[in-house]
Amino acid sequence: MSSEQRTALDTVQLLLLQRTLAAADEAVALSEGVVATSPGASEAWAALAAAWYSRLTFMDREIGPLAERAKQIADQALALNADDPVALRTKAIMVGKYDYDVARAEALFTRALRAMPRYTSARLNYSEVLLLQGRFDEALSETDLALLYDPLSVSVRLARGLCLQYQGRFDEARREWALFRASGEASFWVFTGSGLNELAAGNLDAAERFFDVAVARFPELPNALMCRAYLYATRGEVDRAREQERACLECFPHYSRTDRAMLASLLQDKASTIAHLTAAQSAHDMRFLYASIEPAFAWLASDADFLRVLRRSHVPGWRGRRRA
């Protein structure tokens, strides 16, 4: 590849670190241009796969076609270089969160990290796969190691905030989210993540303030709208929660069925919860495995129908931490 093409791939990496919809779209377009002119370069295909994965995380369109595209492109990169760490990382994410094969995902992450131990994004995604199996201490340890390798990474703060929240360590998580915000992070994650931690901690007014900012700044994304619905459900405002869900679906009809199951579960609506999770599983919803650790589903931990859905994806049961 030429120096200009390598500079373009460096730009793709920087764009993806912005964690915004516009930056993801730009990263896809830029990496597609490099692939078109250097079809034999594994780095170009790997960058394109990473860009497509980033794009699908915003959940503003149907996930399936984007996910299949990301998988195909990662496979193309690996066909050119079986040890490309960027391609291995994207492949591992898709295998774990789209195919629900966490054992194979771990093996792919191990290969990626063996090739590039300082690869922060791969280590944090590996941490998430551990988290989704209820292996909370191991997940947090991976973020500790990532912080040693990359002490200035704001992405590590996001990952640590998530891990600590699911452990019920809300005060520690709050500090991580505060560092994330102080870094100048401008993505929706900083507000929805902070808000969800406050919601889990029972600080509903603080959660609402974060969600209001998220909705105001990112009206083009569904996540903030659904976070508001979770807040209303937690308050017992059933009609407002369902109205918020309808507003989200009017704009984003393909929104995550797992997240909709979470809302139904917060509303103690078992029939809708199971229906949404069944649909999520059939669609390879990349949020599905969160149902096995999300405290909103704790009341169904021994429910035969809930367990039946989880076990169809080789998940033995609900593995979260119950809130006090």
Residues 212, 174 within the same domain: no
Report which DSSP code applies to 317.
Answer: S
Residues 165, 61 within the same domain: no
Contacts of 273 (CB under 8 A, 6+ apart): 261, 264, 265, 297, 300, 306
Residues 162, 232 within the same domain: no
Per-residue pLDDT, averaged over 122-129, amounts to 98
1 has a pLDDT exceeding 90 = no
Q: Is residue 183 situated within a structural domain?
A: yes
Q: Is residue 234 situated within a structural domain?
A: yes
Q: What Cα–Cα distance (Å) separates residue 172 from each residue in 134, 161, 211?
A: 19, 8, 20
- Tokens representing 247 are 């507003």
pTM recorded for the entire structure: 0.95
pLDDT in tens, 83-112: 999 999 999 999 999 999 999 999 999 999
Mean of pLDDT over the chain: 96
**Beta-carbon count within 10 A of 95 CB:** 22
Residues 219, 300 within the same domain: no
Per-residue pLDDT, averaged over 15-35, amounts to 95
Q: What is the model's pLDDT at position 299?
A: 98
Residues 243, 268 within the same domain: no
Contact in structure between 143 and 156 (CB atoms under 8 Å): yes
Confidence of residue 60 (pLDDT cuts 50, 70, 90): confident
Residues 33, 98 within the same domain: yes
What is the spatial distance between Cα 24 and Cα 20, in angstroms, rounded to a whole number? Answer: 6
Q: Is residue 75 situated within a structural domain?
A: yes
pLDDT in tens, 225-265: 999 999 999 999 999 999 999 999 999 999 999 999 999 99
Pick the residue with more confidence: 60 or 193?
193
Domain that holds residue 110: 1-116
Q: What Cα–Cα distance (Å) separates residue 107 from each residue in 14, 92, 96?
A: 27, 8, 10
Residues 135, 226 within the same domain: no
What proportion of the chain, given as a percentage, has pLDDT over 90?
94
Confidence of residue 324 (pLDDT cuts 50, 70, 90): low
